[in-house]
């Protein structure tokens, strides 16, 4: 199921890569081996009370969602992507995965 959810996220318009990261920082599923998104975990060290973090850059935007289990779903997308749609999709993916993690 995890693989399906991550591949569904990667299929969204403008998404470059998506990953599911364990609470310990290990990549459990990812849509691309070209992108290591595990380093995004450090953002949650800075914003411990946040569930959703978005980092906007020149070349890409990162959206990370921390689940109640401590797992992270991380999406790397193009700067011109529809962030509202991506945030909705990442929240829905979190709900789908919460029952199996």
Among 3.90.550.10, 3.40.50.720, 3.30.450.30, 3.20.20.70, what is the CATH number of 2-98? Answer: 3.30.450.30
Segment 76-98, tens digit of pLDDT = 999 999 999 999 999 999 999 98
Segment 24-67, tens digit of pLDDT = 888 899 998 888 777 777 777 766 678 888 889 999 999 999 99
pLDDT of residue 37: 76
pTM: 0.87
pLDDT of residue 28: 93
Segment 7-33, tens digit of pLDDT = 999 999 999 999 999 998 888 999 988
Which DSSP string corresponds to 30-93?
ES-TT---GGGHHHHHHSTT-SEEEEE-SS-EEEEEE-TTS-EEEEEE-TTS-HHHHHHHHHHH
| Every domain of the chain and the residues it spans | 2-98
């Amino acid at each position: 199921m995890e693989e399906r959810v991550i591949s569904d996220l990667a299929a969204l318009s403008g998404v470059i890569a998506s990953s599911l990261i364990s609470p310990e920082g290990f990549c459990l599923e990812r849509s691309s081996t070209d992108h290591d998104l595990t380093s995004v975990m450090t953002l949650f060290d800075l914003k411990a009370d946040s569930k959703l973090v978005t980092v906007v850059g020149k070349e890409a935007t990162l959206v990370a969602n921390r689940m109640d289990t401590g797992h992270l779903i991380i999406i790397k997308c193009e700067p011109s992507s529809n962030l509202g749609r991506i945030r909705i999709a990442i929240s829905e993916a979190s709900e789908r995965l919460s029952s199996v993690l």
